[in-house]
Structure 1
Amino acid sequence: MSTPEQPWHAAYPKPISEAVFLPRSTVLEWFSSNDKLPGKYFVLVDLRRNDHEGGTIKTSINLPAQSMHPSIPALYTLFSSAGVSAIVFYCGSSQGRGARAASWMQDYINEKGDSNMKGFALEGGVKGWVKAGGKLLEMMDEYEEEAWKEPAKKQ
């Protein structure tokens, strides 16, 4: 009798912290703020791997979710050394990978007793970002409108 394949995240501990979802409007405000610069105040982490298409939010680093958990100590060291206050994780919707990564990061931040850094999941993920349109689309690199269109329904 075969057993169903385990999801990639089953190899890692369940997060203790509950994900805090950061509104898109807050990230947009940070982009236009002189004192909350990307890479200095906040870092965006795009967790998509196989579904990484259609563009990404400007300044994001791509760290596929499957490699996220073992990278947490190094990420924490890099980000804390740089004085980063907010790490914003996202995937397609931020309901799975984004929320899980934000929670894992927050668990590690809490373990370190760091009250200057917070882990967040981007509300609605990159799909919500694109769907909201307007100024948010201007804040994307390599945006491809075709990649975000719903596939045509069969007649």
Structure 2
Amino acid sequence: MSQDPSQPWHTAYPTPKSQAATLPRQEVLGWLRGEKVVGRDFLLIDVRRDDFEGGTIHGSLNLPAQSFYTTMSTLYALVKSSGVKTVVFYCGSCCGRGPRAAGWFADYLNDKEDFSLQSVILEGGIKGWVKAGSEYTALIDGFDASVWKQ
């Protein structure tokens, strides 16, 4: 899909019709501590691309928002076959890419009339996760504290 380089990347795709719910980070923390199993009960999707430094929340898949729209059908097939019920999207602060990707996936689920899956946004994104303290940063793979001090 060609796009005018002067426009933001997301203008090449439709605006999401759905607004995904926000999931409190404390809930995801509990899930990661054993209440649920990542990859079986829920899936974490980190939609950052160029700013994917400093680490990622344990068990996350990196599916950059810039290419996510064209790969939703594959994610859907994988999620359906695994039995996952909740897909949690996040980016830096969950003000742009995370909500957009979660909205697109929610739209996809609505189009499929699949109400067994939930598309949600991680409260505050990874920046909020890091700011919440050491119990959160302990669950970041490749955590680099120097990146987050900027």
Q: CA offsets, 1:50-106, max 9 Å, x none?
A: 111001100001111101000111100110111110111111001100000001001
1:62 aligns with 2:59: no
Q: Secondary structure at the match of 2:89?
A: strand
Distance between the aligned counterparts of 2:25 and 2:80, measured in 1?
Answer: 23
Q: Give ranges in structure 1 of 5+ residues lacking alignment.
A: 151-155
Residue aligning to 1:112: 112
Residue aligning to 1:153: none
Residue aligning to 2:28: 27
Q: Give ranges in structure 2 of 5+ residues lacking alignment.
A: none
Residue-pair matches, total:
147
Residue aligning to 1:18: 19
User: Percent identity between the aligned chains?
Assistant: 51
Distance between the aligned counterparts of 2:33 and 2:110, measured in 1?
Answer: 29
Distance between the aligned counterparts of 1:117 and 1:111, measured in 2?
Answer: 12
Distance between the aligned counterparts of 2:141 and 2:5, measured in 1?
Answer: 38
Q: CA offsets, 1:10-61, max 9 Å, x none?
A: 0111101012111101101111234x21000111011111111001100001
Q: If the length of structure 2 is used for normalisation, what is the TM-score?
A: 0.94
Residue aligning to 2:128: 128
Aligned structure 1 segments of 4 or more residues deviating by more than 4 angstroms = none
Residues 31, 4 of structure 1: CA spacing in aligned structure 2 closer, same or farther, 3 A cutoff? Answer: closer
Q: If the length of structure 1 is used for normalisation, what is the TM-score?
A: 0.91
Distance between the aligned counterparts of 1:120 and 1:4, measured in 2?
Answer: 30
Distance between the aligned counterparts of 2:43 and 2:78, measured in 1?
Answer: 11
1:20 maps to a residue whose letter is A
